[in-house]
């Protein structure tokens, strides 16, 4: 096993104060390994970075077409959103469209991450609903597919037809027999794989073209929807949204909890997967930005880049005390 390598460094003055270690893999169009850092065979839970795979049955089954879903729906199905009005209004309309209600969700409720939305709930003395959950778009897709299939209501159960379809897609695209699974924050199973397997799956999304079959058609539709609606995939201030905008939709990005990140690069048919082992998002955001800069896809001087890579750290008086930069392995 190869040890994790330094992917991001935090400096305070001349002192290296913290190091974020991790692993990363880039795969090419045939699933071949292009470049690695650390251990490509590390077993990982990709968390929300796997939402595109989890959304495949929504399109492949014909459910999306049967219910007339558009690109905004598909982007939300892959989203970890802020719970802002642009997200929740669309999720609620989606529920109405398929004849479902908030109680049909199995994701649970949490306060929206969007400050305005959270403050509005507090002012009203109201509790959050499940549609505020950052995964409610994914679960809207789950409900749509489940209704289309005529399957049972407990769609997050491991033996549910939907989850079996997701597992089959996951194993086929990663080229890895699922070694284990965890239960995600939204109660859905999250299937483990090797890091190289996840990069291989993202390379499939990157290289897929219309007319190559139902799965490729689904991958193209999901990839293009995310690129077209970066505001729905995450939200204002978030790395996924800001970095996709910075690259004008040429690259599709998706973060996952515990410092996971993927990138889909259609113009080069590349898939990227990375994991920072300490679970710190500042480490994974700096690392994915550094890799995209190295590939010539992201402008190192774009404000969205500088917010995460070579980013100054300031104290309460506005004094610059240090910076976050790429780790030695990525410099």
Exposure pattern of 64-83 as b/e (b: 16+ CB <10 Å)?
A: beebebebbbbbbbbbbbbb
Cβ atoms of residues 228 and 249 within 8 Å: yes
262: enclosing H helix or E strand: strand 260-265
User: Could you list the residue range(s) of the whole structural domain that residue 311 is in?
Assistant: 5-315
Q: Quote the number of domains for the chain.
A: 1
Q: How far apart are CA 287 and CA 280, in angstroms?
A: 11
pLDDT at site 249 = 94
Residue 329 lies in a domain: no
Per-residue model confidence as pLDDT tens digits over 281-299: 999 999 999 999 999 999 9
pLDDT at site 330 = 94
Looking at the predicted structure, is the pLDDT value of residue 5 above 70? yes
pLDDT at site 46 = 98
Residue 164 lies in a domain: yes
> What's 90-147 look like in SS3?
HHHHHHHHCCCCHHHCCCCCCCCCCHHHHHHHHHHCCCCCHHHCCCHHHHHHHHHHHH
Residue 327 lies in a domain: no
CA 21 to chain centre: 20
310: enclosing H helix or E strand: none
16: enclosing H helix or E strand: strand 15-27
Stretch 293-318: mean pLDDT: 97
Per-residue model confidence as pLDDT tens digits over 8-62: 999 999 999 999 999 999 999 999 999 999 999 999 999 999 999 999 999 999 9
Q: What's the CATH number where 51 sits?
A: 3.40.710
Stretch 86-98: mean pLDDT: 98
Residue 322 lies in a domain: no
The percent of residues above 70 in pLDDT, for the chain, comes to: 100
Residue 323 lies in a domain: no
Residue 324 lies in a domain: no
Answer whether 0.95 is exceeded by the pTM. yes
Residue 330 lies in a domain: no
pLDDT at site 173 = 98
Sign of the CA dihedral 150, 53, 159, 132? negative
Mapping DSSP to helix (H, G, I), strand (E, B) and coil, where does residue 47 land? helix
Q: How far apart are CA 137 and CA 72, in angstroms?
A: 10
**Chain mean pLDDT for the chain:** 97
Per-residue model confidence as pLDDT tens digits over 136-194: 999 999 999 999 999 999 999 999 999 999 999 999 999 999 999 999 999 999 999 99
Residue 115 lies in a domain: yes
**Got the DSSP string for 189-246?**
EEE-EEHHHHHHHHHHHHH--TTS-HHHHHHHHHHHHHHH-HHHHS-TT-HHHHHHHH
Stretch 257-281: mean pLDDT: 98
Q: How far apart are CA 141 and CA 91, in angstroms?
A: 10
pLDDT at site 1 = 67
Distance in Å from the first CA to the final CA of the chain: 23
């Amino acid at each position: 096993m190869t040890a994790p390598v330094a992917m991001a460094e935090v400096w305070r003055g001349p002192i290296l104060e913290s190091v974020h270690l991790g692993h990363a893999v880039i795969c090419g169009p045939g699933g071949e390994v292009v470049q690695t850092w650390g251990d490509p065979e590390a077993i990982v839970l990709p968390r929300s970075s796997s939402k595109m795979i989890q959304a495949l049955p929504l399109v492949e089954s014909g459910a999306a077409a049967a219910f007339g879903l558009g690109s905004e729906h598909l982007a939300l199905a892959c989203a970890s959103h802020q719970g802002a009005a642009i997200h929740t209004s669309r999720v609620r309309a989606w529920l109405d469209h398929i004849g479902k209600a908030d109680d049909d969700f199995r994701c649970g409720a949490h306060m929206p991450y969007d400050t305005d939305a959270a403050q509005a709930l507090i002012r009203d003395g109201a509790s959050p609903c499940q549609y505020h959950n950052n995964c409610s778009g994914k679960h809207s897709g789950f409900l749509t597919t489940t209704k289309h299939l005529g399957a049972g209501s407990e769609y997050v159960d491991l033996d549910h037809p939907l989850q079996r379809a997701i597992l089959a897609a996951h194993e086929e695209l990663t080229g890895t027999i699922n070694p284990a699974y965890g239960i995600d924050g939204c109660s859905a199973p999250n299937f483990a794989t090797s890091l190289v397997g996840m990069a291989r799956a993202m390379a499939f999304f990157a290289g897929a073209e219309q007319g190559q079959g139902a799965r490729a058609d689904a991958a193209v539709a999901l990839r293009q929807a995310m690129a077209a609606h970066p505001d729905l995939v995450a939200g204002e201030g978030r790395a996924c949204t800001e970095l996709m905008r910075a690259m004008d939709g040429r690259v599709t990005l998706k973060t996952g909890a515990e410092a996971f990140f993927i990138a889909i690069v259609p113009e080069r048919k590349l898939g990227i997967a990375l994991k920072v082992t300490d679970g710190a998002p500042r480490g994974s955001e700096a690392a994915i930005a550094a890799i995209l800069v190295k590939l010539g896809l992201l402008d190192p001087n774009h404000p969205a880049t500088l917010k995460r890579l070579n980013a100054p750290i300031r104290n309460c008086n506005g004094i610059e005390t240090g910076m976050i930069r790429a780790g030695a392995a990525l410099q």
